[in-house]
Amino acid sequence: MNHVRPGRTASVIHAIVVVIVTALCALQATAAQAMTFETLSGPRECAERPCVLASGSVDKTTVAAFLSFIRAQHIAPGALVVLDSEGGYLLQGIRLGEEIRRAGFATAVNRYDAAAQAFATADCASACVFAFLGGVRRDVAPGSRVGVHQIYGNVQARDGVSVGDVQLLTSLTAMHIDNMGGGIGILIEALRTPPETVHWFSGAELSRLAVVTRRSDLTLASN
């Protein structure tokens, strides 16, 4: 698996993309709750390693909030980040993935059922996928879904966003996928899926495109 070059990628993002972030990085702002973080101890998967539940929309504060949380909680390498998110800001999703990789964390897609003290099925879509790719090991339990689509936003010529800007963002996304060890087919499916829909990867695609490093048997709550 390729390892991210965080310094190089971060410098490209901060130095070049800052002027187009407002227009391009939002995959359409919604009223969804901003992503929050909490530690879990109930599921059996969390008995021998720290688990961090990351649920909600990826917004402009997500990466800073994540870094603050893992520092305050002293989360060590080897922890599992459990993602439950419909997406949000693309570049924040990319940066979150970089920070997850830098910290040496694994990722999974699940929702936590507090009553059952177990994981239940969840979705990780849009910008969430690029955060998920940061996991040094990546699992998707049966029934949970991972999906992508085109950038969603009202980007028009009057916004000062050129075709070159869009191409730059696409190249940064491709570089992130490659650095994280994913297949370029992830980006291809995103580019050809209209923003009002989602391409949900099949089990075969999850493996073939290296979205996951293995299929998991994570415990699911009974529904």
Query: Cα separations (Å) of 215 from 70, 115, 140, 144?
Result: 26, 26, 6, 11
Q: Report phi then psi at 85, rounded to 5.
A: -155, 140
> Which pLDDT does position 141 carry in this prediction?
87
Which domains, and CATH codes, for the chain?
6-208 (3.90.226.10)
Please tell me the predicted confidence (pLDDT) of residue 54: 98
pLDDT score for 16: 44
Tokens of 143: 């029934």
pLDDT of residue 169: 85
3-state secondary structure of 218: coil
Counting as low any pLDDT under 70, the low residues of the chain are 1-32, 152-162, 214-223
Find, among 79, 182, 82, the residue nearest to 122 by Cα.
82
Q: What is the pLDDT of residue 153?
A: 52
Q: Is the dihedral of CA 174, 178, 181, 185 positive or negative?
A: positive
Q: Is the pTM of this model over 0.85?
A: no
Q: Is 84 exposed, middle or buried (0-12, 13-18, 19+ CB in 10 A)?
A: buried
CA distance 134 to 103: 10
Question: Which residue, among 87, 146, 93, has the nearest Cα to 121 in the 3D structure?
Answer: 146
Looking at residue 217, its pLDDT comes to 44
Segment 3-41, tens digit of pLDDT: 545 555 555 444 444 434 433 444 444 446 999 999 998
Q: Looking at residue 23, what is its pLDDT?
A: 39
Question: Which residues on adjacent β-strands are paired with residue 58?
Answer: 88
pLDDT at 152: 61
User: Residue 201's Cα: distance from chain center in Å?
Assistant: 14
Residues 6+ apart with CB under 8 A from 175: 9, 12
Residue in the block written with tokens 């293995």: 214
Tokens of 207: 């493996």
